[in-house]
Amino acid sequence: MIAASIVSHGHGSMVADLINQLLECQEVNRIIVTINIDEDVKNFPKNPKVQYVFNKIPKGYGANHNAAYELVNDLYFCVLNPDLYLVANPYPDLLKCFGKANVKLVAPLVISKSGKVEDSMRYFPTLSSLIMKFMCGNKGSYGISFQDKIIFPNWIAGMFMLFESNAYETIGGFDESFFMYYEDVDICKRLWMSGGIIVGEPSCKVVHDARRASRRNFQHMRWHFMSMLRYLWRYR
């Protein structure tokens, strides 16, 4: 029913733990693990449901998940960050959301290791909203709480995205011209433009051990900035 895609950038035991958690979810038929940079995987789980892909040259976020999608044939396609932890099996409740009209993408509530709700569901960015973000710290988030019922955000962050596979294929998956950052915003924008609906299900929770590389690494900051400009120009 569900094929899951994880890309490891030297995440080691974090990825191994996530794979083991996914193997306990009955809804997950296949797990594609892409090793994007050289790392030791001898302690990674060995299971018929798990397929490892080793890149000779590192690829971008979208390119890796698109390549993983080509290897599967399931009703649903789940993109997960390697630094996630599943509090419990989120899939039964997430799959129920697809029963609503035109729902094509669903995501759980994402919380930090400290237990705070992360801003994983937001309004689409505009030039004015980004100016407000840099000047005032307003990120354009929905202000979700643990008590909220399902919401319909403009876009959800790429750390956990459960797609209806037909919708993913119809819009062509991720745009690989976004090497890193904003590819999640872009694919949600195209889903909305195609008539699809995005749902956030706060009753389901996953923990994110965020590294925030774009705040410390110049190359990541550069990718982030260039992707932001690409998005703004495309949807100007």
pLDDT tens for each residue of 58-116: 999 999 999 999 999 999 999 999 999 998 999 999 999 999 899 999 999 999 988 88
Closest CA to 180 of 98, 60, 85, 96: 60
Crossing angle, helix 183-193 and helix 61-69, to 10 degrees? 60
Cα–Cα distance, 89 to 109 (Å, whole number): 13
Contacts of 131 (CB under 8 A, 6+ apart): none
Q: What is the pLDDT of residue 232?
A: 79
The alpha-helical segments, DSSP class H, found in the chain are 13-23, 61-69, 91-96, 127-136, 165-170, 183-193, 218-234
CATH superfamily of 2-234: Spore Coat Polysaccharide Biosynthesis Protein SpsA; Chain A (3.90.550.10)
pLDDT for residue 214: 43
Q: Is 195 left (phi over 0), alpha (psi -120 to 50) or beta?
A: left
pTM of the model: 0.88
Share of the chain above pLDDT 70, in %: 83
The closest of 38, 174, 22 to 105, measured between CA atoms, is 174
Which one is predicted more confidently, 49 or 228? 49
Nearest 5°: phi and psi at 78?
-115, 120
Question: Hey, where are the domains in the chain?
Answer: 2-234
